[in-house]
Structure 1
Amino acid sequence: MRKAIIIYATFPNMESAKDIVKSLLEKNLIGCANLREHKAMYVWKGQIEEEDEVGAILKTTDDRWEMVKEFINKVHPYETPAILKIDVSDANKGFLDWIFDVVK
């Protein structure tokens, strides 16, 4: 049985996020993405960093996880991008019908 998942990934700017998301949509690897600009604070090489960043919520199916993760890793501008799989234990039927129809 297919399962819906959410993938959370971050990008350095809106342009790179939109370019990668558009490619994922064109490849039918995701059905939808929500992009939000935010401030990121993190430790990198022993230093506290603060940067503007774009977070992407990617809606897709579990059988696409490895392909999405591999594609983002391949084209992402960060040395170590965050690509996180979030299992969806339940969702409304209309959304599930739509995501399973779109991501084939």
Structure 2
Amino acid sequence: MAGGNGLLEVRIAVPAKDASRIARLLVEERLAACAQVVPGMTSTFRWDGEVTTAEEQLILAKTHRSRFEEILDRVGEAHPYETPEIIAVPIVEASAAYAAWLVDEVAAGERP
């Protein structure tokens, strides 16, 4: 499948205690077709003028570009951080069967 397919992988850094809940919420609400939680991530960043290190987990949510704004809103509501990391990268290539499944899953949740 070509790169202009609109498929995205949304990456969300979260505290370990919140990762499964947010991943499940994204799939249950059909904002993502799949959400994988990768454990054991250590993040270092500057917040409120201080360098901070936090143990986090990474959610990799597979979705379509048309759902990204809703993901931003929903994760913003559910995430404990004031400014959560929510970034998207395009899925440049995917098997036709996987891409079709992904689009079908998230399209089923779109509002009319």
Fold-level match, TM-score > 0.5?
Answer: yes
Distance 1:51 1:100 in 2: 34
One-letter code of the match for 1:40? S
Query: Secondary structure of the residue that 1:102 maps to in structure 2?
Result: helix
Match 2:95 to one of 89, 92, 97: 92
- Contact 1:10 1:82 (8 Å CA) reproduced: yes
Match 1:80 to one of 64, 67, 83: 83
TM-score, structure 1 normalization: 0.89
What's the Cα RMSD here?
A: 1.5
Among all aligned residue pairs of Structure 1 and Structure 2, give the percentage whose two residues are the same amino acid.
Answer: 25
**Distance change (3 Å), C-alpha of 1:6 and 1:90:** same
Where do 1:40-79 residues align within 5 Å? 40-79=43-82
Distance 2:66 2:46 in 1: 32
- Contact 1:35 1:57 (8 Å CA) reproduced: yes
Deviation readout 1:24-81 (Å, 9 max, x if unpaired): 1111110111111211111112221111101111001111111111100112100110
TM-score, structure 2 normalization: 0.84
Number of residue pairs matched by the alignment: 103
Aligned to 1:5: 8
Distance 1:19 1:33 in 2: 11
Give the unaligned 5+ runs of structure 1.
none
